[in-house]
Structure 1
């Protein structure tokens, strides 16, 4: 055919020519022997359409050609494509569909190029669907709508065969599922509605059947291995042939059927569940459980609950062992068991912190479970001792000279770090602070601290954990002692420059700041003349340096080295100031009664009883007592025991220990009352009006970092503050409080 620009091309004549090109294209698509389109062929076909669309009305055939474009596809599909699909089934049908879809896209591409002039002008002006869209829509309406149900069933059947271990053609499935995506022309509706929904339902049913069987015959670890492998394979399916948008939905279905439905049954299996895995330290299996459940909403809650139960059970078992041991042991052995308990609790914390960090990837839920578990048993009392006291005693044992814990510097630092972590679980942190401060004072004052660096190190750790207020007094004590040593150096320099003032006795005075240190009993002890001279000399020196400061002498903390001249030899006695004062009385008297010693020393009854017990009834009998009994009474008489001897030339005579626990607890109770009062007033001053419940809640929140206040105690303090006109009740609502400015 030749094109004459001056001649009108009628519709039938022009379409006959186009039909020849379409028939040639069909033969090429069907694989029949047919040469490819040449450039000349293409130009002739394009020009035919161009001429038929640019002729003046009524010879502009744009609308008719647009309709015939669609008819060409419909005729090809009806005559050739659908029959070829209808006589095939299963995998053969899928292969035919893939082939037909590929051919159809080629046909759309070529015909759209022939009819391109329609796209540029006619379709653009009329806002009609583009040629490409019309061509694909024909396949969707005539082919896809007829076969997609059979195709979906065939694909799902192949997926299930693969799940059972059979080899399938993944590339085929990929090509078939691409049709579901492409047929939507930019939308996923056809893929989602016509394939994905049923595929997900089939997946759920498949794994539900598997899970119901596995859960009965498999151990928890074996089941988890299978579940992990199944999830891996489903993700693998997505990467090979399913659309990427299916992955979260597919994984969710598998997780639900394999992990959620049977969670409690699996995790609580008697011989292989979480309890058993924790007991047998199956780290890999626990890590796998975490990996499988951590992406499931609230999936880890049962695991963390079991973890918490396991930790608290082990901790309570340790506490109960210590309680049993304490009930069956003497006092001195009991303290050893208490030290062992703290060490075992530290080891328990180390053990389960490894699980939290390594198996459970530092997940906050497990940190919370560990904290709550330790809070359960770390706040138990053992033989009347609170955990706060046990922890303070443990620190004392590590930090003092000659403690039972023989550790390297690095080990001490590590242990102190762990002790401070344990403190976070203890409710009565203020009680720990007071016990620790008492023991710190004894270490510092009696030179029992093994290492100043360790003392400062733990205070830094406590400060970071509990705040500056918690450690301010303790830090003051350490600084105070350093200043006291410096002051002692100045005093010795003063004595060397003033020989007349020198009392002739070596004197060491530790000057302390009252506010930092625990309160100590002060007494008007009648010092021996030798000691009086020492005190006067120091007073004279100190007032020359600090006139505005007042010195209060705490003789109960002092100690002396005195020479005891016995018949066999002279022995140096290391005694307290109280003991020295009593012993020196016997330089002037051979025999003294209890009351005479009391009058001459001016010691209180209880203090004197302790002193005389240590000198006449304990290991070293420096004094003989009449009658020779193990108790001290006001009718007793005492004489210097000149026959006393010992293999050592220097001995220390300890005083019987004083029970301080009761006083510390009483002091803390008093401090807590003040703290509750201050908190209530602080809250009410800022809020002005508050309900009872809100006030109690805020008060507990403010104070809980130091101690957990009792609700009854808070209520009692509120009543006290009302009686003292700090607060008043609302006249109409008695549960409402007002701040009285």
Structure 2
């Protein structure tokens, strides 16, 4: 047997050829078989097993280990690879010779199989001595490769495969003797690199390098590391390059996340998302900065608009209006810009949609130049949908803009206030034929209905239906008036009949109309009553308009005036001069309206009437007469009334409606629950109403008290702060 082992050693050293002959193999196998199959005390199985182990150990100690200790660096690795190949050949041949011993004696005694015993010998005698050195050499080689140098990847892979093979099916040797040290070395390497890059590079450059490093580490695993190393290696790399320096990266001066957002660096933002999405809580940090940035942009926009409005107080109303339009336009642009970031850079991740929503809710619900966002949005829509508005857009652009307006509206808490302002402006567009396109009006209502429900748009839909019906009725009325009654002077009359519940409330009173107008009104009443006998007409003259011919000395001019202005001017067909009191008495006008009318005709741009004294203030002692000398280059002019502040009335109407909504919500909740605590009732009420507006807790409390006084609810006598529903 000793001769066989000696022959095997010579084969490994390339002296005696490459293999055993068949006769040599059979002779050795038979010898060992005979030694193992004799009866005690001639059974040498135990001695053979021990001799097998000693043979391997002696060979390793006498030949392999000395040769390993003579080598350094890559030469040591090459020697290790070669010696491991030789060792596997030796173990394979010896295991064949000792096969019978392996099958019976080893299995019966529960000893290590011969191949595993051979592997263990190599591990205990070689790896235990050199594992620290081997790991250090490989780590050093990998660091050189990271610095751009070429290394023998095949050699590194062969060495690391030895770690796996020696583990005998377990990754423990690979993980403990190499992977732990390698991951620590990786962390040390990238820690130093990160410190240098943070000082030298911008945020974008740093992230580019970090992503490149992660990709190279992934490739490194594919080339020579075990696949189980990949998640640990990437985690260490990410930790050193990103996780530990996340705040520094995101807030890096002159190049951090805010600067990238401000400059529209979509590629860098996409890279930031990819990197930070790999770490726990990384996206929450980015989305928080995203939210803060949007809010800062929004507040800056508000400040800009407010400052611009304050700097031109002399033209306050006109400028305020344009500034409001500018605010909405820029808010839409701001929203679109950051929505594009979410879609293109942040992969529609929920955290960023939430950040966008919260940021817009913060600044969109603040007043801008004295106007609420609800009012500004309604004015912006009016500018788009009204004839002659400053926004000259194609049909496709109008649709796109309306979509964006509705998106902004979702962030407004006082949606009911927008509805009322929009309804008021819609009424004027429809009544005075100022709507540019009926399809666009319907389109906006359709979008609002889709987002906020039918209750949101039902009244405005009714308004459009009223106008369509009124046009059909007007055609019938014109046919009814033909032929025109001889008793009535020829006057073109157009009447729009509205449903009271759909339209905003309009101020009205019983003015004394001129005879010509009274006859027209009576004629329409007769026509209407023939078709609608059970409905009563309530005339709102304040919303009417007239075209009258004023015959001045220079030439006649057609005046477009309100019904009230026309009634006042027609008084001068019967008198040359009239006092303030004469006009008020004959028309039955309240003083406020009389002052507005007379100011528009005698003190404004078009002085149709002469006033004595000739100042810009209307007083009860003033005298008025028709201005024959009036001239204008236009043959047809519109004489506007001084603008009135409708905002206060709209807010009052909305507050009144809110009280009704709160009452209805409380009763609805209590009717279903019967008994509820105060806090539960308030919470559910707020939740129900928040779709349209954000109710004030104090007002909810007052409405509860009012409902108790009206016996809809009662306080529970036994339980504090609890209410019962009274059926």
Q: TM-score, normalised by structure 2?
A: 0.89
Match of 2:171 among 180, 185, 188: 188
Alpha-carbon displacement from aligned partner over 1:13-65 (angstroms, at most 9, x marks no partner): xxx4xx65555444333333324345666666667777777889998877776
Secondary structure of 1:586's aligned partner: helix
- How many positions carry a matched residue from both structures? 724
CA distance in 1, matches of 2:60, 2:658: 90
Aligned to 1:349: 335
- The answer for the alignment partner of 2:140 in structure 1 is 157
Give the CA deviation at 1:74: 4.3
Confirm or deny that 1:667 pairs with 2:650.
no
- Measured in 1, the distance between the counterparts of 2:379 and 2:709 equals 41
Counterpart of 1:3 in structure 2 is none
Query: Residue by residue, what CA displacement relative to the aligned partner does 1:534-591 show, whole Å, maximum 9, x if unpaired?
Result: 3333333333333343332222222222333344443332222222233333334444
Matched residue SS, 1:262: helix
Instruction: Give the stretch that moved more between structures: 77-86 or 125-134.
Output: 125-134
Deviation at residue 200 of structure 1 after TM alignment: 1.8
SS at match of 1:244: coil
* 1:195 Cα deviation from its structure 2 partner: 1.8
Map 1:34-433 to 2 at 5 A. 34-37=17-20, 70=53, 73-113=56-96, 130-329=113-312, 330=315, 331-433=317-419
**Displacement of 1:620:** 2.8
Contact 2:413–2:692 (CA under 8 A) maintained in structure 1: yes
Which of 426, 430, 449 lines up with 1:444 in the alignment? Answer: 430
Mapped pair 1:543 → 2:523: no
State how far apart, in whole Å, the 2-side matches of 1:549 and 1:113 are.
114
Deviates more, 1:329-338 or 1:214-223: 214-223
Q: Is contact 1:238–1:246 with CA below 8 Å preserved after alignment?
A: yes
In the aligned structure 1, how far is the partner of 2:41 from the partner of 2:276?
A: 73
Deviation at 1:401, TM superposition (A): 0.8
User: Mean alpha-carbon deviation: is it higher for 190-199 or for 32-41?
Assistant: 32-41
Structure 2 partner of 1:9? none
**C-alpha distance in 2 between matches for 1:688 and 1:123:** 82
Residues 305-336 of structure 1 deviation map (CA, whole Å, 9 limit, x = unaligned):
44333333333233222222222321223322
Do the aligned partners of residues 229 and 556 (structure 1) sit closer, same or farther apart at CA in structure 2, a change above 3 Å counting? Answer: same
Q: Aligned partners of 1:612, 1:271: CA distance in 2, in Å?
A: 61
* Residues 723 and 48 of structure 1: CA distance in aligned 2, closer, same or farther (over 3 Å): farther
Contact 2:484 2:490 in 1 (8 A): no
What SS is found at the alignment partner of 1:271?
A: coil
Across the aligned residues of Structure 1 and Structure 2, the Cα RMSD in angstroms comes to 3.4
561 and 136 in structure 1: CA distance in 2 versus 1, 3 angstrom threshold: same
Q: Given the superposition, is the C-alpha separation of residues 141 and 632 from structure 1 closer, same or farther in structure 2, using an over 3 Å criterion?
A: same
Q: Distance in 1 between matches of 2:604 and 2:235?
A: 77
Mapped to 2, the partners of 1:123 and 1:475 lie a distance apart of 93
Deviation, 1:196, is 1.6
- Give the distance between the partners of 2:599 and 2:126, measured in 1 at CA: 111
Structure 1's 35 and 132: CA in aligned 2 closer, same or farther, altered over 3 A?
A: closer
Instruction: Look up the SS of the partner of 1:27 in the other structure.
Output: helix
Residues 580 and 621, structure 2, Cα contact 8 Å, conserved in 1: yes
Structure 1 residue 725: deviation in Å?
Answer: 4.2
Determine which of 644, 652, 664 is the counterpart of 2:638: 652
Q: Matches of 1:121 and 1:500 in 2, distance apart?
A: 134
CA deviation after TM superposition for structure 1 residue 673, in Å = 2.3
SS in 1 for 2:184: helix
Q: Cα offset for 1:112?
A: 4.5
Q: How does 1:688-699 map to 2 (within 5 A)?
A: 688-699=674-685
Once the two structures are superposed, residues 221-242 of structure 1 have per-residue CA deviations (whole angstroms, 9 ceiling, x without a partner) of: 4433433333333223222222
Look up the match of 2:590. 604
Q: Do the aligned partners of residues 83 and 657 (structure 1) sit closer, same or farther apart at CA in structure 2, a change above 3 Å counting?
A: same
Q: How far has the Cα of 1:395 moved from its partner?
A: 1.5
Query: Shift in Å at residue 669 of structure 1?
Result: 1.5
Partner of 1:576: 562
Query: What whole-Å deviation, never above 9, does each CA across 1:216-269 have from its counterpart, x for those lacking one?
Result: 344434433433333333223222222222222222222222323333334333
* Pair 576,498 (structure 1): closer, same or farther in 2 beyond 3 Å: closer
Spell out, residue by residue over 1:385-423, the C-alpha distance to the aligned partner (whole angstroms, 9 max, x if none).
112111211111121111122222233223222222222
- Distance, in Å, in 1 between the alignment partners of 2:328 and 2:695 is 25
For 2:136 and 2:222, the matched residues in 1 are separated by 21
| 1:194 to 1:388, Cα distance in 2 relative to 1, 3 A | same
Counterpart position of 1:4:
none
Task: Write the deviation string for residues 589-630 of structure 1: whole angstroms up to 9, x where unpaired.
Answer: 444444443344333333333223223332333333344442
Distance 2:146 2:465 in 1: 73
Alpha-carbon distance change, 139 to 354 in structure 1, aligned in 2, over 3 angstroms: same
Q: Indicate if the aligned counterparts of 2:416 and 2:692 stay in contact, CA closer than 8 A.
A: yes
> CA distance change for structure 1 residues 513 and 130 in 2, over 3 Å: closer, same or farther?
farther
**1:256-295, CA deviations, whole angstroms, 9 ceiling, x for partnerless residues?**
2232333333433333333444444444444433333231
Q: In structure 1, the residue corresponding to 2:491 is in which secondary structure? A: coil
Residue 602 of structure 2 corresponds to which residue in structure 1?
616
Q: CA–CA distance in 1 between the matches of 2:720 and 2:215?
A: 64
Residues 165/574 of structure 1: CA separation in 2 closer, same or farther (3 Å cut)? closer
The equivalent residue for 1:485 is 471
Q: Which runs of 5+ in 1 are unaligned?
A: 1-15
Comparing 153-162 with 496-505, which one deviates more in the overlay? 496-505
More displaced 10-residue stretch of structure 1: 571-580 or 156-165: 156-165
CA contact under 8 A between 1:326 and 1:382: conserved in structure 2?
no
CA 1:134–1:623 in structure 2 vs 1: closer, same or farther (change >3 Å)? same
Please report how far the alpha carbon of residue 435 of structure 1 lies from its aligned counterpart in structure 2 after TM superposition: 0.8
User: 2:518, 2:701 → 1: CA distance?
Assistant: 53
Contact 1:592 1:638 in 2 (8 A): yes
Deviation at residue 447 of structure 1 after TM alignment: 0.6
Task: State the 1:444 CA deviation.
Answer: 1.1
**Partner SS for 1:448:** coil
- In the aligned structure 1, how far is the partner of 2:519 from the partner of 2:653? 36
> Cα gap change, 1:738/1:55 in structure 2, threshold over 3 Å: closer, same or farther?
farther
- CA apart distance, 1:118: 6.3
CA distance in 1, matches of 2:30, 2:583: 137
Query: Of the candidates 24, 29, 35, which is equivalent to residue 12 of structure 2?
Result: 29
